[in-house]
A = this chain, B = another copy of it.
C-alpha cells in the first residue's frame, strides 16, 4: 500500500489532504491509493445537502456539524461548488466554517470546484467521499449548490439527501423545485423565522403529497424541543416506503437542528431495514459504472481515431455530405469486444 494511504488510515490529516488533491486531479498514484483504501469504505453515513443559493446551506451544515460533534461523532465536509473562469472558484460559506470549526480535529473540511465537465466533478466527488469514508469519519456531509444537474449528481452518491429551501424564494421556482423534490429524503425549510414560512411549507407539503398519494407528510416545527421521528411509511405498499419529512430550522440560531438530526437518524435507520441501503448502493454503483464505462470507452476510441481523422469527418458533416449519425457509425466500424470473463 502507498505510504499516503497507510497514513490516511492512521488518521493523518495532512496525508488525507494531499491524497484528496491527487485523487481530485486524477494524478499518478490515484487509482492505486483508491484501490488500497476501498476495502476500508462503507462505514460513514453519507449525507448530501443541496438547494438553491441563498437558502443558507453553509450555515446549516455548520450547525449540523456542531450538533454531531456534541454527540461525539466525527464529521467530514465536502463542499462541491460550481466554478467558472469569471468567479475564479470562490467557495461559498467557507469563511464562516473556518471561524466556527477551526481547530477541531474531529472535523475535516474540503472544497472542490468544478473543473471542466460536470462528469469529471461527479467522478472526483465520489472518489473524495470514498477517501473521507476510509479515513474513518462517521459522517460525510456533501454540500453542493443546487443548480439543475448538480442535485441529481449528489443524489447519486449520498445515502440521505437533504434539500434546503427558504421561505419567500419566489413562486417561479416551482418548476425547479419539482425536480429537486424527487431526490429529497428530508426537506429543510431553513430561515423559518422569515415571512412566508406557512406558504412555503404548505406548497412543499402539497407537492410531496401529489407525488406520494397514499401518505401524509410529517412537518417538524423549529419551535420547542426535539421530537422523535418515526420512519414514515406509505400505507399502500408492501415495501416500506420513505416519505420525505419536512423540517423547519433557523440555522443561524441553532433552532430545529436537533429535530433535523432526529430526521437524519430516522432515515438512516430506515435504510438499514430490509436491505434498502444495499439496493440503493447497487443502483448508485450501476450508474457509476455506466458513467465510467462511457468515459473509458470514449478515451480508448480516441486513442484509435486521431484528432485529424475526427476533423476530416466533422468537415464532411459541415459540408452536409455526412450526418453526425453516419460519422459515428464510421468510427465504430469494426468495434469488437473480447470474451467477457466473469
Contacts and interface: CB of A to CB of B under 8 A. Distances in A.
A65 to B, nearest CB: 21
B304 A337 contact: yes
A312 B340 CA distance: 12
The binding surface of chain A is classed by DSSP as helix
A297 B301 contact: yes
A90 B172 CA distance: 13
Interface in A284-342: 285-286, 288-290, 292-298, 300-301, 304-305, 309-315, 317-318, 320, 323-328, 330-342
Q: Give the interface size class of chain A.
A: 35 or more
A3 interface: no
B92 A54 contact: no
A81 interface: yes
A42 B309 CA distance: 23
Contact of A338 (B145, B300, B325, B334): B334
| Integer count of this chain's copies in the complex | 2
A285 to B, nearest CB: 5
A336 B336 CA distance: 5
Contacts of A320: 38-39, 41-42
Interface stretch (A95-103, A176-184, A235-243, A261-269): A176-184
B338 A330 contact: no
Nearest to A288: B324
A41 B311 CA distance: 20
Contacts of A286: 310, 314
Contact of A298 (B86, B294, B310): B294
Interface in A171-224: 172-176, 178-179, 181-182, 207, 210-211
Interface stretch (A7-15, A135-143, A147-155): A147-155
Nearest to A90: B175
Contact of A333 (B278, B285, B295, B341): B341
A74 to B, nearest CB: 21
Contact of A175 (B81, B282, B335): B81
Contacts of A41: 320
A109 interface: no
A331 B293 contact: yes
B179 A84 contact: yes
Contacts of A39: 320
Interface of A: 31, 34-35, 38-39, 41-42, 53-54, 81-87, 90, 92, 118, 145, 147-150, 170, 172-176, 178-179, 181-182, 207, 210-211, 278, 281-282, 285-286, 288-290, 292-298, 300-301, 304-305, 309-315, 317-318, 320, 323-328, 330-342
8 contacts: A39-B320, A53-B172, A53-B176, A85-B182, A90-B175, A282-B311, A304-B337, A304-B340
